[in-house]
Structure 1
Amino acid sequence: MRRAETDFAVLGRGVAALTCATMLREAGFSVEVVVPNGAPAPISHLAGGMLAPYCEGETAPAAVVANGQRALSWWSEHVPDVKQNGTLVVAPPRDQRELERFSQRTSHHRWVAPEEIEPDLADQFSRGLFFPEEGHLDPRKALASLESRLRTKNVAFTHAPHARQIIDCRALQSADQLRGLRGVRGEMLIVRNPLLALSRPIRLLHPRFPCYIVPRDDGVYMIGATMVETGFAGRPTAQSVMALLSAAYSVHPSFAEAEILEMGAGVRPAFEDNIPRVIHEHGRWHVNGMYRHGFLMAPHCAETLIHMLQEVRT
């Protein structure tokens, strides 16, 4: 029996793909998610999962700050365990100018004594910036939850497309079809540190090795991330691992006793301006260029895709 044709085949299994598939299904379209046999885990699995549009304003274009503000509510509506505990930004005593500069380039924050927000950081930092409207999630749990939700809504996960239209969310695998798409390498660690109890992401400012520490469950933390303009993936370098561990140690000395659970490196897709795009070329839709803003910008990109599709239909 011939298989019924669906409206859209979404290529990929990362945050852009599953978010687009979710919104397409909610809009009433029939959808399938296409993942070839042997496809590696998506780059989204290495993400920090920070929903922090105001912090990103330090370096991100204004469009990312504005369009990322809906991300926290969208994820809270679609997956469990999204936390809105804010973000705490700190800097070592010698780098207080970095903290002042960060304050000037961002908004929706207030100056705090860090131990008022995170008691375990008592005596570590004299002051910090608190962004109360921000949040975070566990990327792997969020993606698994989206996939489970899609399956309950009769969205098939297949190895080849059977749809009339293609939504290509394959990150750098689409580089041969998208002009200007480049790779930006990032590296991260996942550690277990039961000696510390943090409830929100901590961003450590440093002129050479800035990093962030994102709490997971059961004393587990994700530490990231270096940003290198290269398309090379491979494994984390010793230099980067030492830099990340050194930065984490400067946040709290207990990280010297942490158990390293995982080290990862991947290459994020990005356009020249580091703003994600929805593109229609040669009969195919592309949602790509997430850079370091995948979970922050995926809901906006999916909404943009739906609007563009509706305009084409009318």
Structure 2
Amino acid sequence: MSGPFTILGTGVLGLAVATELATRGHAVRLVDPAMGPGGHGCSWWAGGMLAPFCEFESAEEPVLRHGQASIDWWDRHAGGVSRNGTLVVALGRDRAELDRFARRTEGYEVIGGNHMAELEPDLAGRFDRALFFATEAHLNPRAALAALQSGLAARGTTVAAAPPDDAGEVIDCRGLAARDILPDLRGVRGEMLVLRCPEVTLARPVRLLHPRVPIYLVPRGEGVFMLGATMIESDRRGVVTARSVLALLSAAYALDPAFGEAEILELGADARPAFPDNLPRIGRAAGRLYANGLYRHGYLLAPALARQLADHVETGEKPEFWHETDDQR
């Protein structure tokens, strides 16, 4: 056993790093002024789609490779993973978007309307063709964060508002708050709605393609869904615009008109931390280790960064996502 390691931040990355280190027998302490992940940060507002093949449509190869391994990591450490795959559909006027999406990814089966009706009876007759990514999965991010924190607490790891005097090795996982040591971080805003619509039952995430506002709809159970889509280059947090609400609800209505009667339970917006190349980094800055820049791939890539960082502190080997600063070269 070694340590202690003091981890700054209790979002998905901070909790994943803490879990990986604690599981390997290291002493871990968590620090977050908010005293935990509940109700704040982009990890709280994530969709929870473990969809490496779908994300590969616009992401780099490491997202596909590491994202596939993340599904088992989450199942092992948090549970609650639904392995029902992902459906990608498009309305008739947007069929070209489905073809474009297919060309840019892999790991799917092209299915017809009958097969789709078997998978999602409530969407029967609405689409004559879809892409089915059978090996993808999803989880409830809030439940996953709570499970990681509960597992850490069972090992004696709690959350403090400030670092202790004997902080040991500090690992910075603060997301956008780390711009005080990582000035090239930028914010990428996402806006989400939580809906209740008992009239619709879905077993898996559904992505509706549109050239302007593609959406994803993720089932949370008991008629509750997370609806999201927007990717805006902005640091603005906390408030959803009327334009985004109209666009998201219109797209959900196009997917299934029953969503016209849905209750809006929550509106949320936050800014994801991203580096210029949209890939994460592990490195050293301001005398501490850091892991950051998950962009829109938080739940897909947090396990990979956690494993790489833990390997680094144990062996000194530089991770795949290691970033050298000018004074370290």
Quick check: TM above 0.5?
yes
Q: What residue number does 1:150 align with?
A: 152
Cα distance change, pair 305–104 in 1 and its aligned pair in 2 (3 A): same
Q: What residue number does 1:136 align with?
A: 138
Cα distance change, pair 125–37 in 1 and its aligned pair in 2 (3 A): closer
Cα shift readout 1:30-54 (whole Å, capped 9, x = no counterpart): 0011011578722201000000000
1:207 and 1:176 mapped to 2: Cα distance?
A: 36
Are 1:225 and 2:222 counterparts?
Answer: no
Are 1:87 and 2:89 counterparts?
Answer: no
Please give the secondary structure, in 1, of the residue aligned with 2:191. strand
Q: Provide the TM-score with structure 2 as the length reference.
A: 0.91
1:94 and 1:245 mapped to 2: Cα distance?
A: 19
1:11 and 1:285 mapped to 2: Cα distance?
A: 10
CA contact (8 A) 2:274 2:294 kept: yes
Aligned-pair identity in percent equals: 50
Cα shift readout 1:208-251 (whole Å, capped 9, x = no counterpart): 00010000021100000201001112410000000000111111
CA contact (8 A) 2:35 2:161 kept: no
1:92 and 1:313 mapped to 2: Cα distance?
A: 49
Please give the secondary structure, in 2, of the residue aligned with 1:16. helix
Cα shift readout 1:108-134 (whole Å, capped 9, x = no counterpart): 100112223211101111100000000
- Shifted more, 166-175 versus 38-47: the winner is 38-47
Quote the offset at 1:195 in angstroms.
0.2
Quick one: which amino acid aligns to residue 274 of structure 2?
A
Q: 1:180 aligns with which of 169, 181, 184?
A: 184
Quote the offset at 1:69 in angstroms.
1.0
1:275 and 1:290 mapped to 2: Cα distance?
A: 7
Q: 2:13 aligns with which of 6, 16, 19?
A: 16
Are 1:190 and 2:194 counterparts?
Answer: yes
Please give the secondary structure, in 2, of the residue aligned with 1:175. helix
Show structure 1 runs of 5+ residues with no match.
none
Please give the secondary structure, in 2, of the residue aligned with 1:130. strand
Cα shift readout 1:157-201 (whole Å, capped 9, x = no counterpart): 112223211111110000121132100000000000000110100
Task: Summarize the alignment of residues 1-314 of structure 1 with structure 2, pairs less than 5 Å apart.
Answer: 7-37=4-34, 41-113=40-112, 114-162=116-164, 163-312=167-316
Q: Provide the TM-score with structure 1 as the length reference.
A: 0.95
2:288 and 2:226 mapped to 1: Cα distance?
A: 36
Show structure 2 runs of 5+ residues with no match.
319-329
- Shifted more, 304-313 versus 82-91: the winner is 304-313
1:151 and 1:66 mapped to 2: Cα distance?
A: 31
CA contact (8 A) 2:189 2:231 kept: yes
2:29 and 2:153 mapped to 1: Cα distance?
A: 10
- Shifted more, 301-310 versus 130-139: the winner is 301-310
Q: What residue number does 2:324 align with?
A: none
- Which contiguous aligned blocks of 4+ residues in structure 1 show a shift greater than 6 angstroms? none
Cα distance change, pair 282–176 in 1 and its aligned pair in 2 (3 A): closer
Aligned residue pairs, count: 310
CA contact (8 A) 1:13 1:42 kept: no
Quick one: which amino acid aligns to residue 94 of structure 1?
R
CA contact (8 A) 1:172 1:269 kept: yes
CA contact (8 A) 2:89 2:98 kept: yes
Q: RMSD of aligned C-alpha atoms?
A: 1.6
Quote the offset at 1:265 in angstroms.
0.6
Quote the offset at 1:281 in angstroms.
2.2
Cα distance change, pair 185–313 in 1 and its aligned pair in 2 (3 A): closer
1:86 and 1:62 mapped to 2: Cα distance?
A: 20
